Amino acid sequence: MVHPENSEEYKGLIVNKGIEQPSSVNPYLKRTKKRHLSVGDYVEGIIKGDVTTLSRAVTLVESVRTEHQVIAQEVIEKCLPYAGNSVRIGISGVPGAGKSTSIDVFGLHVLQQGGKLAVLAIDPSSERSKGSILGDKTRMEKLSVHPDSFIRPSPSAGSLGGVARKTRETIVLCEAAGFDKIFVETVGVGQSETAVHSMVDFFLLIQLAGTGDELQGIKRGIMEMADGIVINKADGNNIDKAKLAASQFRNALHLFPAPESGWTPQVLTYSGFYNTGVKEIWDMVYQYIDFVKANGYFDFRRNEQSKYWMYETINEHLRDSFYHNPMIEKMLGEREQQVLDRNLTSFVAAKKLLDAYFEALKK
């Protein structure tokens, strides 16, 4: 874990407090008055695989309105027994690594083998406007018009925990609707990787050839999460450079302790633009899935992830309750300054704030 860079991170809060709202309103649906659906209608439609119902349910999940959340939670709970039958792949890479093009060709490749693919995203920094789903879809030219794909952008800005929760609930709905491949895309520059890593079966990191400056966009610690690293743009006179980078990454991964899955992370090269090397990547992913299903790690990790999110939700809520307490909000800056001025130790300052908080809760 890297030393956090600012106090908002210490608190465990991400303060991207854009007003939360459903990130997408399908313009098509706007034309006619939507029929009010009951919980039963939602569940029935989703299990039938009806994408319009699925889409409306996801909008409920993303809504901040209490009455929407009540229905959403009931729908999710009823969908739970039908969920879980999928392969969940996290895909990360810094901007410029060619993520959208890659997801487009990756998605077409996996759909050639049958099944249905949902592409979701986690990007707590996004400040997307309502119509942005169209923009997102345009980035994935072929996938967006494929009949067996469902593309949904990141829930709009909020806390990372909130965004992650919505994405994880959307996975449940997609799986219940028969989507057996789930891609979860993330931006490769922040804490969202940890969140994505904690909800997928395989974590794929897209890299570019080159060292030093070109890699600075990747946060520390992310490379160690990868089950596979793939070097994009291995084409034209870039092939040798990409192969060299692959061999460097391979050596570097060798120095890391082995992941608990028992799997040795692979490094491959490909070209998203020219669609070469893509088959090899997915052969690797499926080989991994077979491997961890055989050794029991697949189920073990899914269970660990379920527990992780329960505890993560609790911990986030406990922090929220404290740091968003009006009295604490008023006192916090002053105590922090006393610590910096060396009038109080960090521990005494913490204790004074905690005492005040628990006293206030009793009232």
- Shorter beta-carbon distance to its own copies: residue 148 or 193: 193
Q: How many CB atoms lie within 10 A of CB 181?
A: 24
| CB-facing half-sphere around the CA of 173: CA atoms within 13 A | 34
H/E element, 320: helix 297-323
CB of 228 to its own copies, least distance (A): 16
149: Cβ–Cβ under 8 A, 6 or more apart, which residues?
107, 111, 116, 117, 118, 119, 143
What gap in Å lies between CA 161 and CA 124, rounded to an integer?
9
Contacts of its own copies in 297-316 (CB under 8 A)? 301, 303-315
| Contact flag: residue 351 with its own copies (CB under 8 A) | yes
What gap in Å lies between CA 183 and CA 90, rounded to an integer?
6
| Contact flag: residue 169 with its own copies (CB under 8 A) | yes
Contacts of its own copies in 331-350 (CB under 8 A)? 335-336, 339-340, 342-350
CB of 27 to its own copies, least distance (A): 30
- Shorter beta-carbon distance to its own copies: residue 44 or 214: 214
| Contact flag: residue 88 with its own copies (CB under 8 A) | no
| Contact flag: residue 83 with its own copies (CB under 8 A) | yes
| Contact flag: residue 293 with its own copies (CB under 8 A) | no
What gap in Å lies between CA 316 and CA 162, rounded to an integer?
9
Is the distance from CB of 126 to CB of 154 less than 8 angstroms?
Answer: yes
Q: How many CB atoms lie within 10 A of CB 237?
A: 6
| Contact flag: residue 330 with its own copies (CB under 8 A) | no
In order of 174, 181, 217, 358, the CA distances from 46 in angstroms are 8, 16, 39, 44
Query: Which of residues 31, 216, 326, 330 is near its own copies by CB under 8 A?
Result: 216
Q: Which stretch binds its own copies (CB under 8 A): 31-39, 52-60, 79-87, 284-292?
A: 79-87
Of residues 134, 139, 265, 292, the one with CA closest to residue 207: 265
The one-letter amino acid at 57: A
Is the distance from CB of 246 to CB of 132 less than 8 angstroms?
Answer: no
Q: Which stretch binds its own copies (CB under 8 A): 49-57, 116-124, 147-155, 251-259?
A: 251-259
CB of 52 to its own copies, least distance (A): 23
E-strand stretches of 93-135: 117-122
Query: Which of residues 112, 129, 211, 295 is near its own copies by CB under 8 A?
Result: 211
- Shorter beta-carbon distance to its own copies: residue 214 or 276: 214
Tokens of 150: 């469902």
Tokens of 274: 């020219």
| Contact flag: residue 209 with its own copies (CB under 8 A) | no
| Contact flag: residue 353 with its own copies (CB under 8 A) | yes
Could you give the string, one character per residue 132-161, with x where binding to its own copies holds by CB under 8 A and - elsewhere?
------------------------------
- Shorter beta-carbon distance to its own copies: residue 58 or 111: 58
Q: Which stretch binds its own copies (CB under 8 A): 34-42, 50-58, 71-79, 140-148?
A: 71-79
- Shorter beta-carbon distance to its own copies: residue 99 or 166: 166
